[in-house]
Amino acid sequence: MNLWTLFAIARARTPQKEALEFVNVESGNAPIRMSYEELYTQAERWATAFAQMGLRKGDRVAFFLGNRPEFVIAYLAVLRAGAIMVPINLRYRRMEIYHILNDCTPRFLVTEKAQEPILAELTSTDLGGVERILAVDAVDEWLSPVETQRPPLVHGEDLALIMYTSGTTGRSKGAMISHNNVLATVTGLMAAWAWQADDVILLPLPLFHVHGLVVGLHCALASGATVRLRPKFDAEETIDVLAHGGATLFFGVPTLYVRLLDLLERMDPKPDFNRMRLFCSGSAPLAAETYIAFEDLTGHRILERYGMTETGMNLSNPYIGPRVPGSVGTPLPGVFARIVDGQNHELAPGSEGELLVRGSNVFDGYWNDKEKTAASFSVDEAGIRWFHTGDLAVQDPESGYVTLLGRRHELIISGGFNIYPREIEELLLSYPGIRDAAVIGAPHPEWGEVPLACLVCEGEIDEISLVNWCKSQLASFKVPRHFRYVNELPRNAMGKVLKHLLK
């Protein structure tokens, strides 16, 4: 079994069913619709073209493109060809793209014409040996009519994805995710959330992350459901689609719910989402106030779940049964979780500690990084390997529900995107006049958290120039929103900045 066969089963069952609908409100273009059969045929054709251009099993293919039907076609084609998809956050800029391409050395870079100005800033060194840049909206240039070839045998243990996720060292690490890992999350969620073939999901989340790609797209395609894909989130259009019975499911990061609420509060009369059967939230903590306000305004209780790039989905509130605001529920089918102290001893329910997980959903390690892989796992008394999530948690002794309390590491989550302070600190330190820098997360009503930089400077710094310079190097959501100037940073005897004091 692999992810292509999972999709092929759905296509064999209902070939004429609509798999994908794509609407770009800004462009005003007519919707694009594809049946399971059409998606299958196109993906096969692209897989053959990739193979003819020299793509082999195990090769990496980087994706730098927005949500669009061709993303799905190309991705399925990569899986069919036995290659590994490496998605890149579209907001990433030169430094970040350079690191990913040079770390996993993809043979092809799949992109779109709109990204050409950004890619034009990359030198051949930045591209890390990419042999071909394939724009999905210029297929005439590379998609020649070809005979279908016999695809390679792809096993469940083979890698499907390398997804870059923030690293403690400042540079992101490539999580190696197998077909089986994704299958485990998908089958677990299909059972837990009662996915059905007549489900329709409105999906504006980016396909370059686990949330959009695995929880949204793969679950839908495996269920024979319909995906209403959007290039970006638009609160007005979302409410319009949901109020007209256009979907049964909606998944968002908390920022999306904050924006929906903002609009819903101003609407009179309130829309009726009566075809909707499930609103889910994840990727960052959903504030209890958001949960309550959403229920008050819509009558729907948001189902909060918890996952990670490295593990897919781990815990979830129940589909049937009480959903508790502020809690992430219990382990999904096939997932095992425990909460441990600093010596990796399992704690009794009610005690706070680090959350460890294991299961077929958990990845095997980081690409080219045995050291960080080893540091992320531990082996228990029975010889079983557990992944250290870095998230602090407590389990309710009565209900068994888990509540997340924060993170062991310094990760900042802004609107569902991860930011590692170290990466920004290193950049700030290379700016003339900055002697020392520390970045922390500041609370923000819409984004959850935003980066705030504490700087020790020689003389005055022009903040506007500094911000513009940072934006030219990094994704703009990582650029500090606030600056504070201090004479020195509080450090412990080891020289480590005491960030809790800065906060």
Based on the shown chain and the rule CB under 6 A, indicate whether residue 416 belongs to the binding site for ligand MLC: yes
Q: How far is the CB of 284 from ligand AMP (least distance, A)?
A: 5
Sequence length of the chain is 503
Please report, as ranges, the residues that interact with ligand AMP according to CB under 6 A.
165, 210, 282-285, 304, 306-309, 328, 389, 391, 404, 407, 413, 418
Q: CA-CA distance, 407 to 419, in Å (whole number)?
A: 13
Strands 132-135 and 159-165: unpaired
Based on the shown chain and the rule CB under 6 A, indicate whether residue 308 belongs to the binding site for ligand MLC: yes
Based on the shown chain and the rule CB under 6 A, indicate whether residue 213 belongs to the binding site for ligand MLC: no
Contact 202, 246 (CB under 8 A): yes
Binding-site partner at residue 415 among ligand AMP, ligand MLC, none, CB < 5 to 8 Å by type: ligand MLC
Q: Which part of the chain contacts ligand MLC (CB under 6 A), choosing from 20-28, 94-102, 349-357, 414-422?
A: 414-422
Angle between helices 3-13 and 36-52 (to 10 degrees): 140
CB nearest ligand MLC: which residue?
A: 415
Based on the shown chain and the rule CB under 6 A, indicate whether residue 205 belongs to the binding site for ligand MLC: yes
Q: How many other CB atoms sit within 10 Å of the CB of residue 291?
A: 22
Interacting residue with ligand MLC among 87, 188, 254, 307 (CB under 6 A): 307
Instruction: Quote the strand ranges of 43-94, DSSP E.
Output: 60-64, 84-87
Q: Supply 17's token pair.
A: 């069913």
Contact 450, 482 (CB under 8 A): yes
Strand partners, 85: 61, 161
Binding-site partner at residue 404 among ligand MLC, ligand AMP, none, CB < 5 to 8 Å by type: ligand AMP
What is the DSSP code (8-state) at residue 425?
A: H
Q: Residue type for 164, please?
A: Y
The separation between CA 415 and the C-alpha centre of its own chain, rounded to angstroms, equals 11
Counting Cα atoms < 13 Å in the Cβ hemisphere of 354 gives 18
Q: How far is the CB of 309 from ligand AMP (least distance, A)?
A: 3
Based on the shown chain and the rule CB under 6 A, indicate whether residue 472 belongs to the binding site for ligand MLC: no
Interacting residue with ligand MLC among 55, 135, 210, 340 (CB under 6 A): 210
* Rg, Å, the chain Cα set: 23
- Please choose, from the candidates 428, 441, 424, the residue with its C-alpha nearest in 3D space to the C-alpha of residue 478: 424
Interacting residue with ligand MLC among 82, 254, 415, 480 (CB under 6 A): 415
Kindly tell me which of 270 and 407 has the beta carbon lying closer to ligand AMP: 407
Interface with ligand MLC in residues 238-297 (CB under 6 A): 253, 255-256, 282-283
Q: How far is the CB of 449 from ligand MLC (least distance, A)?
A: 9
Interacting residue with ligand MLC among 69, 106, 206, 480 (CB under 6 A): 206
- Please choose, from the candidates 412, 415, 444, 419, the residue with its C-alpha nearest in 3D space to the C-alpha of residue 255: 415
Based on the shown chain and the rule CB under 6 A, indicate whether residue 172 belongs to the binding site for ligand MLC: no
Q: How far is the CB of 418 from ligand AMP (least distance, A)?
A: 5
Residues that bind ligand MLC (CB under 6 A): 205-206, 209-212, 232-233, 253, 255-256, 282-283, 307-309, 414-417, 447, 476-477
